[in-house]
Structure formats: C-alpha cells, structure tokens
A and B are shown apart, each in its own frame.
Chain A
Amino acid sequence: QVQLQESGPGLVKPSETLSLTCDVFGYSISSGYYWGWIRQSPGKGLELIGNIYYSGTTYYNLSLKSRVTISLDTSRNQFSLKLTSVTAADTAVYYCARAYSSGLETYYDYWGQGTLVTVSS
C-alpha cells in the first residue's frame, strides 16, 4: 500500500521560505509516476502547486511558478516543496500526492494526510 506523509514547520514568517518534505512509503519514487503538491486555503478549494515527474521534470502552476521549487531525493524516497517570499495568502493545508498521467487522463490516486502551514509573524 502506497502511503505519503508530509512534514515541515507549521509556522512560517512573512517573506520567508516555506519548506515541506513528503516521505513516500510502499513505492519507489524513481520507478515512475508524477509526484505533486496541492494546497487548500482555509475554507477554500484545492489548488495545484506543481508536479514533478520521476525523471525530475517539473511542472508548476503559472501563478506560483516564480516562487516554487519541487525536487526529488530518490536516496531518501522523498520529494520536497520550497515556496519563497510567503505571505498570509499562502496559509493553507499542504498535501503531497501521487499522480498518474497518461494521454488524456491525469489523476491523484494517493494523498498524504496534509499539513497546515500558517504564515504569520
């Protein structure tokens, strides 16, 4: 069974960098699939931050692209998110997830439990 688990600081100061890690269990991230970060602001819907293919190619939400970096660490079987220059608008629950994508079909089949990150001084 594939499991994902997010970790990182729950509180980040404005203008600083948000850093999260997603540990993957039950599947080697270097074997395939896309690996993504999705966030949900309080009381709001889901927003894709970006995906990284197992080869290392990244795909970012255009509205966040200038501030986002997603990377893989295959030795630790984890992938990471860095979001720079955060503001209160970046306060959200951050989810990591595995994405299947082929042809006209893209979906997230396994999700982490989510981690709340609050941006505040």
Chain B
Amino acid sequence: QSVLTQPPSVSGAPGQRVTISCTGSSSDIGAGYDVQWYQQLPGTAPKLLVYGNNNRPSGVPERFSASKSGTSASLAIAGLQAEDEADYYCQSYHSTLSGSGVLFGGGTRVTVL
C-alpha cells in the first residue's frame, strides 16, 4: 500500500508556528481526494484534527489549520503549546487501489522545545 510522505519530525519553541507537509501523488491527493489530519498524543488513540482538507471538528482549537494544493497538503500549528507535542498523521485516498484505498502518512513527531 502506498504511503503519503511526511517529515519524520518538526520542532518549535512555545508560541512559534510550525508546519507539517504531506506529499502524495496524482492518484491520491492530486486526484482530488480530501486530506485529513490526526493527532496522536503519547499512549493514546489517534484523534481527528482536520477533515475535508481544512475543516476542524468541534472542539479543535483554531490555531490548527490545514490546506491542500496539487499533490500536497500541510498542517500548521500556530502559537505552539506544550500540549501539542504529539505525532501527526495525514490521511487520504488512493484511486487505483482496489479494495480499500485509504492511505496514511508515515507520521510526524512534533516536539515543543
């Protein structure tokens, strides 16, 4: 199964803005499929952070924002806080995979310095 490409890690000081990229292909993100983002705090299950490219579920702070362009997407965290230290995964869909085409990125560890 193909994997969406994310940087293994990003870091920033409290209050800074960090971005996480998610690179796909013309058969997934580039084919128009929406991108989602999940936050996984240490020892917990993933939590839906963004759906439909740039929509936040109820309760997700506005400092989390996302965008999509071409074959890539990105998640931005503004005003980084200690509680944001977690793993973040992007997720989309691959059009040519028979069966289930759900794809996850490899994950990005965000460290608050």
The interface of chain A, by Cβ under 8 A from chain B, is 36, 45-48, 50-51, 59-63, 65, 95, 99-100, 104-109, 111-114
Chain B interface residue count, Cβ-Cβ cutoff 8 angstroms:
28
**Total inter-chain residue pairs, C-beta < 8 Å:** 75
Q: What are 6 contact pairs spanning A and B, CB under 8 A?
A: A48-B103, A62-B1, A105-B33, A107-B34, A109-B48, A113-B44
**In the complex the two chains form, is A46's CB within 8 Å of B47's CB?**
no
**Across-interface contacts of B93 in A (CB, < 8 A):** 104, 106
In whole Å, how far is A99's beta carbon from the nearest beta carbon of chain B? 8
Q: Tell me which of B34, B57, B104 contacts A104 (CB under 8 A).
A: B34
B45: interface (CB < 8 Å): yes
**Across-interface contacts of A46 in B (CB, < 8 A):** 38, 46, 89, 91, 104, 107
Secondary structure at the B interface, as helix, strand, loop or mixed, is: loop
B97: interface (CB < 8 Å): yes
Top-5 shortest CB links A-B = A59-B100, A107-B36, A46-B104, A111-B45, A105-B34
**In the complex the two chains form, is B98's CB within 8 Å of A48's CB?**
no
- Asked if A61 meets B1 with Cβ closer than 8 Å, knowing A45-B105, A46-B104, A51-B102, the reply is yes
